[in-house]
Amino acid sequence: VLVKNRSKLSDQTSVDNMLIIFYQSAGMHNLAIELLQKKYSQAPTEGKKAQILWQIANGFFSQENYVEAERCFRQMIKLEPNNNAAQRNLAVCLYKLGRHEDAEKTLNRILSAFPDPQVADLLDAIIQAKTGSQPQLEEKIIENTLSSFSSETSGFTQFFLKRCDFQ
């Protein structure tokens, strides 16, 4: 409905935001990433660019495209060097790409600057995974990445989405 009537609506930004939320919720990450990349090119501030990069990186992460997720997390970290969640997710990408030592170094770097229990747990799980304890690592990865996703939607978006017939 939104896509079909998009040109008739005056507030294209709101339409794009609703489509992004819908695409993410529906697992249509390619379409969400496409719209987010458009928004990124139009973002007025570094902070807004970082927020959009976060969403793009998590979209790639959800698709298990860890190379692109890594690229986006690194780009975001350049904008927000103290963003521990982005650094944690970067470490997970590095681990998933088989770059275990880089993942450990990233987590140790975070821990040397900030005592963070999530980072410590993730680092312990990565170290244990080297000895074959993979299930705990996967559990920690899920905990870390899910705790970083924002699943909140605005009241207007919820109102609109409840009235759409999704096909």
Q: pLDDT tens, 129-154? A: 877 766 566 776 666 654 444 434 44
pLDDT greater at residue 108 or residue 131: 108
Q: pLDDT tens, 34-59? A: 999 999 999 999 999 999 999 999 99
pLDDT tier at 64, thresholds 50, 70, 90: very high
pTM of the model: 0.76
User: What secondary structure does DSSP assign to the chain, as a single string?
Assistant: -TTTTGGG-S-HHHHHHHHHHHHHHTT-HHHHHHHHHHHHHH--SHHHHHHHHHHHHHHHHHTT-HHHHHHHHHHHHHH-TT-HHHHHHHHHHHHHTT-HHHHHHHHHHHHHHS--HHHHHHHHHHHHHTTT-HHHHHHHHHHHHHTT------HHHHHHHHTS---
Mean pLDDT over 21-43 rounds to: 92
